[in-house]
Structure 1
Amino acid sequence: MTDTPAALREHHHADVSGGWLRPAVFGAMDGLVTNIALIAGVGGGGVSPRNIVLTGTAGLVAGAISMALGEYTSVRSANEQLAAEVAKERQELERHPEAEARELAEMWMARGLPEHLAVGVAEALRQDPEQALRVHVQEELGVNPDEQPDPWTAALSSFLCFSVGALVPLLPYLFGATSLALALAVGGLGLFVAGAVVARFTNRRWFSGGLRQLLLGAAAAAATYLIGMLIGVQGSLG
Protein backbone atom coordinates (compact mmCIF):
# COMPACT_ATOMS: atom_id res chain seq x y z
CA MET A 1 0.00 0.00 0.00
CA THR A 2 1.43 3.37 -1.07
CA ASP A 3 1.94 5.94 1.65
CA THR A 4 0.02 9.17 1.30
CA PRO A 5 1.86 12.54 1.27
CA ALA A 6 0.52 13.20 4.77
CA ALA A 7 1.93 9.91 6.02
CA LEU A 8 5.28 10.68 4.45
CA ARG A 9 5.35 14.05 6.20
CA GLU A 10 4.56 12.37 9.52
CA HIS A 11 7.54 10.05 9.08
CA HIS A 12 9.92 12.83 8.11
CA HIS A 13 12.75 13.12 10.63
CA ALA A 14 14.19 16.35 11.95
CA ASP A 15 17.66 17.38 10.84
CA VAL A 16 19.85 16.29 13.75
CA SER A 17 23.22 16.65 12.02
CA GLY A 18 23.12 20.23 10.75
CA GLY A 19 25.20 21.52 13.65
CA TRP A 20 22.82 24.24 14.93
CA LEU A 21 20.45 22.68 17.47
CA ARG A 22 22.95 21.43 20.05
CA PRO A 23 25.03 24.65 20.18
CA ALA A 24 21.84 26.74 20.14
CA VAL A 25 20.40 24.90 23.13
CA PHE A 26 23.73 24.81 24.93
CA GLY A 27 24.37 28.48 24.18
CA ALA A 28 20.95 29.69 25.35
CA MET A 29 21.03 27.64 28.54
CA ASP A 30 24.62 28.57 29.30
CA GLY A 31 23.91 32.25 28.69
CA LEU A 32 20.92 32.20 31.01
CA VAL A 33 22.58 30.24 33.80
CA THR A 34 25.91 32.06 33.55
CA ASN A 35 24.49 35.56 33.75
CA ILE A 36 21.80 34.69 36.30
CA ALA A 37 24.49 33.22 38.53
CA LEU A 38 26.86 36.10 37.82
CA ILE A 39 24.23 38.72 38.63
CA ALA A 40 23.19 36.80 41.74
CA GLY A 41 26.80 36.62 42.90
CA VAL A 42 27.68 40.28 42.51
CA GLY A 43 24.22 41.30 43.70
CA GLY A 44 24.67 39.19 46.80
CA GLY A 45 27.93 41.03 47.38
CA GLY A 46 26.03 44.29 47.58
CA VAL A 47 27.30 46.08 44.47
CA SER A 48 25.29 48.85 42.84
CA PRO A 49 22.81 48.23 39.98
CA ARG A 50 25.20 50.05 37.62
CA ASN A 51 28.01 47.65 38.47
CA ILE A 52 25.63 44.71 38.08
CA VAL A 53 24.83 45.89 34.54
CA LEU A 54 28.53 46.32 33.81
CA THR A 55 29.32 42.85 35.15
CA GLY A 56 26.43 41.22 33.31
CA THR A 57 27.31 42.95 30.02
CA ALA A 58 30.94 41.89 30.30
CA GLY A 59 29.80 38.35 31.05
CA LEU A 60 27.50 38.40 28.01
CA VAL A 61 30.20 39.57 25.58
CA ALA A 62 32.99 37.39 26.96
CA GLY A 63 30.78 34.33 27.24
CA ALA A 64 29.30 34.68 23.75
CA ILE A 65 32.73 35.02 22.15
CA SER A 66 34.12 32.12 24.18
CA MET A 67 31.17 29.89 23.28
CA ALA A 68 31.46 30.70 19.58
CA LEU A 69 35.20 30.04 19.49
CA GLY A 70 34.78 26.84 21.47
CA GLU A 71 32.01 25.52 19.22
CA TYR A 72 33.92 26.37 16.05
CA THR A 73 37.10 24.70 17.25
CA SER A 74 35.26 21.67 18.60
CA VAL A 75 33.17 21.01 15.48
CA ARG A 76 36.02 21.67 13.08
CA SER A 77 38.36 19.39 15.02
CA ALA A 78 35.76 16.61 15.00
CA ASN A 79 35.24 17.03 11.25
CA GLU A 80 38.98 16.97 10.63
CA GLN A 81 39.33 13.81 12.70
CA LEU A 82 36.52 12.19 10.72
CA ALA A 83 38.14 13.24 7.44
CA ALA A 84 41.36 11.55 8.54
CA GLU A 85 39.48 8.35 9.38
CA VAL A 86 37.65 8.44 6.05
CA ALA A 87 40.98 8.81 4.22
CA LYS A 88 42.34 5.84 6.18
CA GLU A 89 39.28 3.75 5.25
CA ARG A 90 39.63 4.75 1.60
CA GLN A 91 43.20 3.46 1.60
CA GLU A 92 42.11 0.18 3.15
CA LEU A 93 39.41 -0.28 0.50
CA GLU A 94 41.95 0.38 -2.25
CA ARG A 95 44.60 -1.95 -0.82
CA HIS A 96 42.45 -4.76 0.59
CA PRO A 97 39.01 -4.66 -1.10
CA GLU A 98 38.27 -8.37 -0.52
CA ALA A 99 39.11 -8.23 3.18
CA GLU A 100 37.05 -5.08 3.65
CA ALA A 101 34.06 -6.60 1.87
CA ARG A 102 34.32 -9.68 4.06
CA GLU A 103 34.54 -7.53 7.18
CA LEU A 104 31.38 -5.66 6.15
CA ALA A 105 29.51 -8.88 5.45
CA GLU A 106 30.51 -10.30 8.84
CA MET A 107 29.19 -7.17 10.57
CA TRP A 108 25.83 -7.60 8.86
CA MET A 109 25.73 -11.32 9.63
CA ALA A 110 26.36 -10.54 13.28
CA ARG A 111 23.16 -8.51 13.18
CA GLY A 112 21.18 -11.43 11.83
CA LEU A 113 21.40 -10.96 8.05
CA PRO A 114 21.65 -14.25 6.11
CA GLU A 115 25.18 -15.01 4.94
CA HIS A 116 24.37 -15.19 1.23
CA LEU A 117 22.60 -11.83 1.35
CA ALA A 118 25.29 -10.10 3.42
CA VAL A 119 28.07 -11.38 1.17
CA GLY A 120 26.13 -10.51 -1.97
CA VAL A 121 25.47 -6.93 -0.93
CA ALA A 122 29.04 -6.40 0.26
CA GLU A 123 30.38 -7.69 -3.06
CA ALA A 124 27.96 -5.53 -5.01
CA LEU A 125 29.16 -2.45 -3.14
CA ARG A 126 32.69 -3.06 -4.40
CA GLN A 127 31.48 -2.02 -7.85
CA ASP A 128 30.87 1.51 -6.58
CA PRO A 129 33.93 2.66 -4.57
CA GLU A 130 32.35 5.88 -3.27
CA GLN A 131 29.19 4.16 -2.08
CA ALA A 132 31.31 1.39 -0.56
CA LEU A 133 33.36 3.99 1.31
CA ARG A 134 30.21 5.69 2.62
CA VAL A 135 28.72 2.43 3.86
CA HIS A 136 31.96 1.28 5.48
CA VAL A 137 32.33 4.58 7.34
CA GLN A 138 28.73 4.45 8.51
CA GLU A 139 29.03 0.86 9.71
CA GLU A 140 32.45 1.15 11.33
CA LEU A 141 32.38 4.71 12.69
CA GLY A 142 28.64 5.21 13.11
CA VAL A 143 28.54 8.51 11.18
CA ASN A 144 27.54 9.65 7.71
CA PRO A 145 30.57 11.35 6.10
CA ASP A 146 28.24 13.43 3.89
CA GLU A 147 26.25 14.89 6.79
CA GLN A 148 28.70 16.60 9.09
CA PRO A 149 27.90 19.76 11.08
CA ASP A 150 29.21 23.06 9.82
CA PRO A 151 31.57 24.75 12.33
CA TRP A 152 30.47 28.25 11.29
CA THR A 153 26.82 27.35 11.79
CA ALA A 154 27.62 25.96 15.23
CA ALA A 155 29.66 29.03 16.17
CA LEU A 156 27.06 31.56 15.01
CA SER A 157 24.21 29.62 16.60
CA SER A 158 26.05 29.42 19.90
CA PHE A 159 27.05 33.10 19.83
CA LEU A 160 23.55 34.38 19.14
CA CYS A 161 21.75 32.09 21.56
CA PHE A 162 24.22 32.71 24.38
CA SER A 163 23.82 36.45 23.86
CA VAL A 164 20.03 36.24 23.97
CA GLY A 165 20.08 34.01 27.05
CA ALA A 166 22.57 36.22 28.89
CA LEU A 167 20.57 39.34 28.05
CA VAL A 168 17.36 38.10 29.72
CA PRO A 169 18.32 38.65 33.40
CA LEU A 170 19.78 42.05 32.49
CA LEU A 171 16.54 43.36 30.98
CA PRO A 172 15.01 44.72 34.21
CA TYR A 173 18.14 46.77 34.89
CA LEU A 174 18.29 48.03 31.31
CA PHE A 175 14.69 49.24 31.66
CA GLY A 176 15.49 51.15 34.83
CA ALA A 177 14.66 48.65 37.60
CA THR A 178 17.04 48.26 40.53
CA SER A 179 15.68 45.10 42.15
CA LEU A 180 17.91 42.03 42.17
CA ALA A 181 14.89 39.85 42.97
CA LEU A 182 13.10 41.08 39.83
CA ALA A 183 16.15 40.37 37.66
CA LEU A 184 16.43 36.85 39.06
CA ALA A 185 12.71 36.27 38.58
CA VAL A 186 12.92 37.34 34.93
CA GLY A 187 15.94 35.10 34.48
CA GLY A 188 14.07 32.20 36.08
CA LEU A 189 11.15 32.76 33.73
CA GLY A 190 13.61 32.71 30.82
CA LEU A 191 15.03 29.40 32.04
CA PHE A 192 11.58 27.87 32.30
CA VAL A 193 10.59 29.04 28.81
CA ALA A 194 13.87 27.84 27.29
CA GLY A 195 13.50 24.43 28.91
CA ALA A 196 9.92 24.16 27.71
CA VAL A 197 10.90 25.07 24.14
CA VAL A 198 13.70 22.51 24.09
CA ALA A 199 11.29 19.89 25.41
CA ARG A 200 9.06 20.51 22.37
CA PHE A 201 12.01 19.77 20.09
CA THR A 202 12.64 16.46 21.84
CA ASN A 203 8.99 15.41 22.30
CA ARG A 204 9.22 15.66 26.08
CA ARG A 205 6.63 17.26 28.35
CA TRP A 206 7.08 21.02 28.22
CA PHE A 207 6.34 21.57 31.88
CA SER A 208 8.87 19.04 33.16
CA GLY A 209 11.49 20.35 30.73
CA GLY A 210 10.93 23.93 31.88
CA LEU A 211 10.89 23.00 35.56
CA ARG A 212 14.13 21.05 35.25
CA GLN A 213 15.99 24.01 33.76
CA LEU A 214 14.49 26.38 36.32
CA LEU A 215 15.65 24.22 39.23
CA LEU A 216 19.16 23.81 37.81
CA GLY A 217 19.49 27.56 37.26
CA ALA A 218 18.09 28.31 40.71
CA ALA A 219 20.70 26.04 42.30
CA ALA A 220 23.51 27.84 40.46
CA ALA A 221 22.13 31.26 41.40
CA ALA A 222 21.73 30.28 45.05
CA ALA A 223 25.32 29.07 45.25
CA THR A 224 26.81 32.22 43.72
CA TYR A 225 24.51 34.49 45.75
CA LEU A 226 25.72 32.91 48.98
CA ILE A 227 29.34 33.20 47.90
CA GLY A 228 28.85 36.83 46.89
CA MET A 229 27.12 37.61 50.15
CA LEU A 230 29.88 35.99 52.21
CA ILE A 231 32.63 37.79 50.31
CA GLY A 232 30.74 41.07 50.55
CA VAL A 233 30.23 40.67 54.30
CA GLN A 234 33.89 39.75 54.84
CA GLY A 235 34.99 42.70 52.75
CA SER A 236 32.85 45.10 54.78
CA LEU A 237 34.16 43.66 58.04
CA GLY A 238 37.73 44.07 56.85
Structure 2
Amino acid sequence: MAAGEYTSVASQRELVEAELDVERRELRKHPKDEEAELAALYESRGVEPELAREVARQLSRDPEQALEIHAREELGIDPGDLPSPTVAAVSSFGSFALGALLPVLPYLLGASSLWPAVLLALLGLFLCGAVVAKVTARTWWYSGLRQLALGGAAAGVTYALGTLFGTAVG
Protein backbone atom coordinates (compact mmCIF):
# COMPACT_ATOMS: atom_id res chain seq x y z
CA MET A 1 0.00 0.00 0.00
CA ALA A 2 2.83 2.39 0.82
CA ALA A 3 4.49 1.76 -2.55
CA GLY A 4 1.19 2.39 -4.33
CA GLU A 5 0.63 5.59 -2.37
CA TYR A 6 4.18 6.75 -3.17
CA THR A 7 3.68 6.06 -6.87
CA SER A 8 0.28 7.77 -6.91
CA VAL A 9 1.46 10.95 -5.17
CA ALA A 10 4.73 11.02 -7.15
CA SER A 11 2.73 10.78 -10.39
CA GLN A 12 0.39 13.59 -9.29
CA ARG A 13 3.38 15.73 -8.35
CA GLU A 14 5.12 15.03 -11.67
CA LEU A 15 1.94 16.02 -13.55
CA VAL A 16 1.76 19.31 -11.65
CA GLU A 17 5.47 19.96 -12.25
CA ALA A 18 4.96 19.33 -15.99
CA GLU A 19 2.09 21.83 -16.01
CA LEU A 20 4.32 24.33 -14.20
CA ASP A 21 7.06 23.78 -16.81
CA VAL A 22 4.56 24.56 -19.59
CA GLU A 23 3.52 27.74 -17.79
CA ARG A 24 7.18 28.66 -17.15
CA ARG A 25 7.95 28.29 -20.88
CA GLU A 26 4.92 30.40 -21.81
CA LEU A 27 6.05 33.13 -19.44
CA ARG A 28 9.53 33.05 -20.96
CA LYS A 29 8.43 32.90 -24.63
CA HIS A 30 5.37 35.19 -24.51
CA PRO A 31 5.73 37.47 -21.46
CA LYS A 32 3.47 40.22 -22.84
CA ASP A 33 0.70 37.75 -23.72
CA GLU A 34 0.89 36.24 -20.25
CA GLU A 35 0.83 39.69 -18.67
CA ALA A 36 -2.26 40.57 -20.74
CA GLU A 37 -3.86 37.28 -19.71
CA LEU A 38 -3.28 38.14 -16.06
CA ALA A 39 -4.68 41.65 -16.53
CA ALA A 40 -7.78 40.19 -18.20
CA LEU A 41 -8.22 37.82 -15.29
CA TYR A 42 -8.14 40.69 -12.80
CA GLU A 43 -10.56 42.68 -14.97
CA SER A 44 -12.96 39.74 -15.00
CA ARG A 45 -12.89 39.87 -11.20
CA GLY A 46 -13.94 43.50 -11.14
CA VAL A 47 -10.63 45.39 -11.16
CA GLU A 48 -10.65 48.51 -13.33
CA PRO A 49 -8.83 47.84 -16.65
CA GLU A 50 -6.02 50.35 -16.16
CA LEU A 51 -5.35 49.16 -12.61
CA ALA A 52 -5.54 45.51 -13.70
CA ARG A 53 -2.89 46.15 -16.40
CA GLU A 54 -0.65 47.96 -13.89
CA VAL A 55 -0.98 45.20 -11.28
CA ALA A 56 -0.24 42.56 -13.91
CA ARG A 57 2.79 44.55 -15.12
CA GLN A 58 4.21 44.90 -11.61
CA LEU A 59 3.58 41.27 -10.67
CA SER A 60 5.12 40.05 -13.93
CA ARG A 61 8.49 41.71 -13.25
CA ASP A 62 9.64 38.78 -11.10
CA PRO A 63 9.47 35.54 -13.15
CA GLU A 64 9.06 33.27 -10.12
CA GLN A 65 6.30 35.44 -8.65
CA ALA A 66 4.61 35.55 -12.06
CA LEU A 67 4.80 31.75 -12.29
CA GLU A 68 3.28 31.36 -8.83
CA ILE A 69 0.42 33.74 -9.63
CA HIS A 70 -0.33 32.13 -13.00
CA ALA A 71 -0.20 28.66 -11.42
CA ARG A 72 -2.67 29.66 -8.72
CA GLU A 73 -4.99 31.61 -10.97
CA GLU A 74 -4.96 29.40 -14.09
CA LEU A 75 -4.13 25.94 -12.76
CA GLY A 76 -5.46 26.20 -9.22
CA ILE A 77 -2.23 24.97 -7.68
CA ASP A 78 0.31 26.34 -5.24
CA PRO A 79 3.84 25.55 -6.51
CA GLY A 80 5.19 25.83 -2.97
CA ASP A 81 2.72 23.36 -1.53
CA LEU A 82 3.13 20.19 -3.59
CA PRO A 83 2.47 16.88 -1.83
CA SER A 84 5.40 14.72 -0.73
CA PRO A 85 5.39 11.12 -2.01
CA THR A 86 7.57 10.05 0.92
CA VAL A 87 5.25 11.53 3.54
CA ALA A 88 2.27 9.91 1.80
CA ALA A 89 4.02 6.51 1.68
CA VAL A 90 5.10 6.60 5.33
CA SER A 91 1.62 7.72 6.44
CA SER A 92 0.01 4.98 4.37
CA PHE A 93 2.37 2.34 5.75
CA GLY A 94 1.75 3.41 9.34
CA SER A 95 -2.01 3.58 8.89
CA PHE A 96 -2.28 0.19 7.23
CA ALA A 97 0.10 -1.44 9.70
CA LEU A 98 -1.92 -0.15 12.66
CA GLY A 99 -5.19 -1.04 10.96
CA ALA A 100 -3.95 -4.57 10.27
CA LEU A 101 -2.67 -4.99 13.83
CA LEU A 102 -6.03 -4.27 15.50
CA PRO A 103 -7.92 -7.39 14.39
CA VAL A 104 -4.84 -9.59 14.88
CA LEU A 105 -4.05 -8.30 18.38
CA PRO A 106 -6.62 -10.43 20.25
CA TYR A 107 -5.13 -13.57 18.69
CA LEU A 108 -1.62 -12.48 19.68
CA LEU A 109 -2.94 -12.15 23.23
CA GLY A 110 -4.44 -15.65 23.20
CA ALA A 111 -8.01 -15.19 21.94
CA SER A 112 -9.50 -18.20 20.17
CA SER A 113 -12.80 -16.63 19.08
CA LEU A 114 -13.52 -14.24 16.21
CA TRP A 115 -15.59 -11.82 18.32
CA PRO A 116 -12.78 -10.03 20.20
CA ALA A 117 -11.10 -9.29 16.86
CA VAL A 118 -14.38 -8.06 15.34
CA LEU A 119 -15.13 -5.81 18.31
CA LEU A 120 -11.62 -4.37 18.41
CA ALA A 121 -11.68 -3.73 14.64
CA LEU A 122 -15.08 -2.01 14.88
CA LEU A 123 -13.87 0.11 17.79
CA GLY A 124 -10.78 1.02 15.77
CA LEU A 125 -12.94 2.04 12.81
CA PHE A 126 -15.10 4.27 15.01
CA LEU A 127 -12.10 5.88 16.72
CA CYS A 128 -10.36 6.46 13.40
CA GLY A 129 -13.42 8.27 12.07
CA ALA A 130 -13.76 10.27 15.28
CA VAL A 131 -10.12 11.38 15.07
CA VAL A 132 -10.56 12.44 11.43
CA ALA A 133 -13.35 14.75 12.57
CA LYS A 134 -10.71 16.89 14.28
CA VAL A 135 -9.63 18.17 10.84
CA THR A 136 -13.07 18.33 9.22
CA ALA A 137 -16.27 20.21 9.86
CA ARG A 138 -18.15 17.07 10.97
CA THR A 139 -18.91 16.08 14.53
CA TRP A 140 -16.79 13.30 16.04
CA TRP A 141 -19.73 10.95 16.42
CA TYR A 142 -20.91 11.43 12.81
CA SER A 143 -17.45 10.78 11.38
CA GLY A 144 -16.96 7.86 13.75
CA LEU A 145 -20.29 6.27 12.81
CA ARG A 146 -19.70 6.84 9.11
CA GLN A 147 -16.29 5.15 9.29
CA LEU A 148 -17.77 2.34 11.37
CA ALA A 149 -20.62 1.80 8.88
CA LEU A 150 -18.43 1.87 5.79
CA GLY A 151 -15.65 -0.23 7.28
CA GLY A 152 -18.14 -2.64 8.84
CA ALA A 153 -19.95 -3.00 5.51
CA ALA A 154 -16.67 -3.70 3.70
CA ALA A 155 -15.70 -6.28 6.31
CA GLY A 156 -19.16 -7.86 6.09
CA VAL A 157 -18.93 -8.17 2.31
CA THR A 158 -15.45 -9.66 2.63
CA TYR A 159 -16.68 -12.16 5.21
CA ALA A 160 -19.69 -13.06 3.04
CA LEU A 161 -17.44 -13.66 0.04
CA GLY A 162 -15.13 -15.78 2.19
CA THR A 163 -18.10 -17.84 3.31
CA LEU A 164 -19.34 -18.17 -0.27
CA PHE A 165 -15.96 -19.49 -1.40
CA GLY A 166 -15.51 -21.68 1.68
CA THR A 167 -12.59 -19.74 3.17
CA ALA A 168 -14.27 -17.84 6.03
CA VAL A 169 -12.86 -17.97 9.54
CA GLY A 170 -15.41 -18.98 12.16
- Matches of 1:193 and 1:157, distance apart in 2: 17
Work out which of the residue numbers 76, 88, 106 in structure 1 matches 2:10: 76
Q: Does 1:170 align with 2:108?
A: no
Q: Which residue of 2 aligns with 1:190?
A: 124
Tell me, which stretches of 5 or more residues in structure 2 are unaligned?
Answer: none
The 5 A counterparts of 1:1-238 are 67-232=1-166
Task: Give the secondary-structure state (helix, strand or coil) at the position aligned to 2:21.
Answer: helix
Q: CA deviation at 1:229?
A: 2.2
Cα deviation for residue 139 of structure 1 reads 0.9
Greater mean alpha carbon deviation, residues 107-116 or residues 159-168 = 107-116
Deviation at 1:103, TM superposition (A): 0.7
CA distance in 2, matches of 1:223, 1:92: 51
Deviation of residue 98 (structure 1)?
A: 1.0
Q: How many residue pairs were aligned? A: 167
Counterpart residue number, 1:38: none
- Taking the aligned partners of 2:75 and 2:90, their CA distance within structure 1 comes to 27
Distance 2:131 2:146 in 1: 12
Partners of 1:230 and 1:76 lie apart in 2 by 38
- By how many angstroms is 1:232 displaced? 2.4
| TM-score relative to the length of structure 2 | 0.92
Cα distance in 2 for partners of 1:168, 1:69 equals 22
Identity of aligned residues (%): 53
Q: Which structure exhibits the higher relative contact order, with contacts defined as CA atoms closer than 8 Å and separated by 6 or more residues?
A: 1
Residue 175 of structure 1 and its aligned partner are, at CA, apart by 0.5
The CA deviation string for residues 26-72 of structure 1, in whole angstroms up to 9 with x for no partner, is: xxxxxxxxxxxxxxxxxxxxxxxxxxxxxxxxxxxxxxxxx111111
CA distance in 1 between partners of 2:117 and 2:72 (Å): 48
Q: 2-side partners of 1:114 and 1:156: how far apart?
A: 48
Deviation at 1:108, TM superposition (A): 1.9
Distance in 2 (CA, whole Å) between partners of 1:126 and 1:229 is 65
- Supply the AA of the counterpart residue of 2:75: L
Distance 1:149 1:221 in 2: 31
What is the SS of the residue equivalent to 2:166? helix
CA distance in 1, matches of 2:89, 2:75: 25
